[in-house]
Structure 1
């Protein structure tokens, strides 16, 4: 073949490749603000964590203040270990309050000091407990020793399963413990405040966290609910917070609450004011690259929605996804679990945007009264900087993912129709996740009386860099076409403390000046100055890098 022919073929190949890449990058989004879909319920305003003693520590208080400020509604908080025995010293996947002990004669002794510190921190900020009734106090456990575990990342997960995971030796004392806790809460916070909380029993009883039988868990629930309702008949309680794949266990639990004889009262049925379950994704490392699985998390949700939908008695019952995350172990850092390397940068933030949008869509499809989806992500006090835990902040510095929730906090009113020719259909994701060559270029939009918002993301399950997507956004149906447009962005350069930290040389002992810069970098960044925009005469053009998230805020 002649050199000129080779050159021509090479040029043509490059031209076709470039055209293909360009076609992938061009995306069109159309938002119709006059077409309501459903109310924009702030189901994202729920958070949780294993280590309750971090709540009132320095960085814990700071982060809770920031979370409370970003939400237009009271944030609900769920924590493990609220009844676990110990002196309150925190550790990974551990916490304690010493709420219940027994004296030398075997009489119950109640001590609410640490529990009060935790709940005081919430209530002071206008937050609400999703109060978990667990775990088993040492003095009540049928298998008390060993009690406090010594687990650390890299060791077997089963090592956390000590005396706190066992049934009580006396169910009536267990019921009385709940009664005394609720009665104390009313005395401290007032009846109206406690009525606004939700209570739930244990965590993942279908999995590793419960060392009893299914029937023993149902008995545990019945006695806890009896104690709670005895103290406050209007208190709200639910269960069973099963694992993501525990839909059969959830089904059995619902049947028990509706049809079985109550272990505590001897009557038919047990109180059920809310249904709770978990949903988790499943990242893996494939050929050295982290590959997420939104599919796995959404399939967990769908399986449990199907169970709830089977029961006409549960029509419109409040549903809470007690943990809703990309995977299962918040305290497993990326040094021991390389599949968790997504957590520090923008992949966690774009995954969060894309997954919550599909959660809304799936909830609409099954007509579920979803109250909240608990993001099991908080902070780990006094740990190495950016250690790869699933947290919202590191050493008091916010990570990119927290800025997605700041964006959600500006989305109010009703969800409205948003169409993107680059957005994966829900069915495709449920079948095969987001694994094609193209990224998921999606949008979620809302409209309130005097404002509107459009969230746009460029997500893919594979943690790879890629070409930027060119996005054209058309805004239709605004009663006032001329608006003030403000753009916020999360990407490599904006709202990203992790990239700033790396530019500093990844210091593990940053000085005060560096910390101030990191704190500023961790905030949601406004890109460009607010400007007047006439939606009747133009489109908005954006460039989004892979794993970026943008919020267009419109005010008039």
Structure 2
């Protein structure tokens, strides 16, 4: 049997229990990874199970409803959804970077009129899919928007300056805004129940430090005060927070977050004169991909540096240092609706570079949390789907026309991990401080993250480089897992690479059809799922150690699952 398994490994490049590492490919240094299941480095929190999108009206569209169910199914814990435009005026028809609910208007006498029809459709679809909302209060209803010079048009259509419209204005009446928030929250509590809505998160606005907010910082503090006060009137136990600001990268964004926390810590509420509630802190770290020497080159250092900055700001405040932090947009860059037709650097979104980046950033976010001694609760992947667009057009999305993209499978891998994070070392890793400072620009980051639960361990592996170079030779990688109970261990190997869990390469091999046949669609749906690299195998734990080997191609991700 061992000889047969060895033949399979040599023929197909699969892993098996071995005593030594196979010879590497020419010019490639082998990588040795050690996992110590007995050494916990912290709890594995499901920070991955959060997703978001601009176009809230996509929630009720056919592929949107289909994808929501897939997101629910990838995780054993609740999946949360954050969406823009829950309060925006309009007809409920989505456009790129735009949606609406028309929940609020004023009648001829200037009295508020509330209409929850479109809102109910959105929240009902979330409930039916089994996901939970992170309710983002935004944007300003047309009849409630204050007059701001240069922002007299309510909606500016993409690709125009979509942030220029008065949907991003402050309210002309903060008390009326507060009553809208109270009525909106009260309606959701009545429809979905106090017990359920108490598990949701309620966030005030989006990126008020840039053009999403046409007021001053102090006017945002006032908006925050009126919002959280009125949420709590309808739902006293609601988990409220903000400020959902950008970065923080430059000094402006760092100062905005700092001043917001100063406001909450030291000021009285503009709404009621009391203490200002804050149950979580949110901000938005982003990367910065570019075309360098003719190829896409990611900017993982930007996402990690801004995360580090934000953690440092929070850690300054002893009263807030242990509050949950929600990175309510955490992505390789900042425009999900900008396709690769608009920006060629965004073509990373279709293939294996996106999941490899996400895997490397995932571990780094945990490590930055540990260093700063803060409480990271979530990283919201601002990615969903874009209805009725071209196949693989290069939007930042998890699926295209119902076909899952490779990046969705890395989240499925994250969902298979549980228990405690345990110690890993790799001779091929890029140190955290280097990754934060300069990214992965020299040697590739061939590294691992591992978890252990009662009868199972998982080891996430990746070979990531900022530059989109998939032609580099695979790296021979040995994995030694220590602390495994004696006896037989079942090992399963899941893989994302050019030929596994990758509908994009299959679609290109079909000739990149924009009108695929039913047979082609069925094939693409099948290949878009998470796939295994060979069959499960039983190996022997000897002296508490299991030794495995594999080859990791550039921009690939693996998950080894060991169960006993």
Q: Aligned runs of 1:209-228 on 2, under 5 Å? A: 209-228=212-231
**Contact 1:25 1:468 (8 Å CA) reproduced:** no
**Structure 1 residue 481 displacement after superposition:** 4.4
TM-score (norm 2): 0.92
2:240 to 223, 237, 242: 237
* 3-state SS of 2:65 partner: helix
- Per-residue CA shift, 1:39-87, capped at 9, x if unaligned? 1100011000000000111000010100100011001110000000001
Structure 2: where are the runs of 5+ without partners? 1-22
Alpha-carbon displacement from aligned partner over 1:342-399 (angstroms, at most 9, x marks no partner): 1000000100000001111111111111110100000000000000000000000000
Counterpart Cα distance in 1 of 2:525 and 2:350? 15
Give the superposed CA RMSD. 1.4
Deviations 1:200-229, CA, capped at 9 Å, x for gaps? 111000011000111111111111111111
Give the Cα–Cα distance (whole angstroms) in 1 for the partners of residues 43 and 193 of structure 2.
Answer: 31
Distance 1:308 1:47 in 2: 23
Deviates more, 1:58-67 or 1:108-117: 108-117
Which residue of structure 2 aligns with residue 432 of structure 1? Answer: 438
What SS does structure 1 have at the residue aligned with 2:491?
A: strand
Does the CA-based 8 Å contact 1:47-1:77 persist in structure 2? yes
Q: For 1:132, which of 136, 142, 147 is the aligned residue?
A: 136
CA contact (8 A) 2:59 2:122 kept: yes
Of 161, 181, 185, 1:182 maps to 185
State whether structure 2 residue 41 is matched by structure 1 residue 34.
no
CA contact (8 A) 1:151 1:160 kept: no
Change (3 A) 1:300 1:330: same
**Which of these residues, 261, 269, 280, is aligned with residue 262 of structure 1?**
269
The offset of 1:20, in angstroms, is 10
1:365 match: 371
Q: In the alignment, does 2:407 pair up with 1:401? A: yes
Gap regions ≥5 residues in structure 1: 1-18
Cα deviation, 1:169-197, whole Å, max 9, x if unaligned, reads 11001000010011111110110111101
User: After the TM superposition, which residues 121-160 of structure 1 pair with which residues of structure 2 at under 5 Å, given as runs?
Assistant: 121-143=125-147, 145-152=152-159, 155=160, 158-160=161-163
Q: Report if aligned partners of 1:318, 1:371 keep a CA contact under 8 Å in 2.
A: yes
| Structure 1 equivalent of residue 164 of structure 2 | 161
CA contact (8 A) 2:490 2:538 kept: yes
Higher mean alpha-carbon deviation, 21-30 vs 48-57, is at: 21-30
TM-fit CA distance, 1:160 = 3.5
Aligned to 1:65: 69
- 2:471 is the counterpart of 1:463: no
- For the residues of structure 1 that align with 2:223 and 2:546, how far apart are their CA atoms? 61
Q: In structure 2, do the counterparts of structure 1 residues 312 and 187 end up closer, same or farther at CA, with 3 Å as the change threshold?
A: same
Q: Structure 2 matches for 1:239-388, cutoff 5 A?
A: 239-244=242-247, 245=249, 246-267=253-274, 269-388=275-394
Structure 2 equivalent of residue 3 of structure 1? none
1:538 deviation in Å?
Answer: 5.5
Instruction: State the Cα deviation string for residues 284-321 of structure 1 (Å, max 9, x = none).
Output: 11111111111110001000100000001113111100
Matched, 1:97 2:90: no
**Structure 2 counterpart of 1:549:** 557
Corresponding position of 1:117: 121
2:482 and 2:546 in contact (8 A); partners too:
no
User: Hey, what's the Cα distance between the residues in 2 that align with 1:122 and 1:364?
Assistant: 33
In the alignment, is the contact (CA less than 8 A) between 1:447 and 1:453 conserved in 2?
A: yes
Conserved 8 A contact 1:149-1:161: yes
Query: Are positions 1:421 and 2:427 aligned together?
Result: yes
* Structure 2: distance between partners of 1:163 and 1:480: 66
Give the counterpart of 2:202 among 196, 199, 204.
199
**TM-score (ref. length: structure 1):** 0.94
- Contact 2:25/2:476 (CA < 8 Å) preserved in 1? no
CA drift at 1:22: 4.2
Distance 1:105 1:301, change over 3 A: same
> 494, 497, 508: which one pairs with 1:502?
508
Q: Secondary structure, in 3 states, of the residue corresponding to 1:237?
A: strand
The answer to whether structure 1 residue 24 and structure 2 residue 28 are counterparts is: yes
Deviates more, 1:105-114 or 1:299-308: 105-114
Secondary structure at the counterpart of residue 89 of structure 2: coil
How far apart are 1:478 and its partner, in Å? 1.0
Deviation of residue 480 (structure 1)? 3.9
Distance 1:30 1:487 in 2: 17
Per-residue deviation at 1:528? 1.1
CA contact (8 A) 1:497 1:521 kept: yes
Encode CA deviations 1:219-252: one digit per residue, 9 max, x unaligned. Answer: 1111111111111111111010110122210110
Alpha-carbon distance in 1 for matches of 2:353, 2:530: 16
Separation (CA, whole Å) in 1 of partners of 2:487 and 2:169? 62
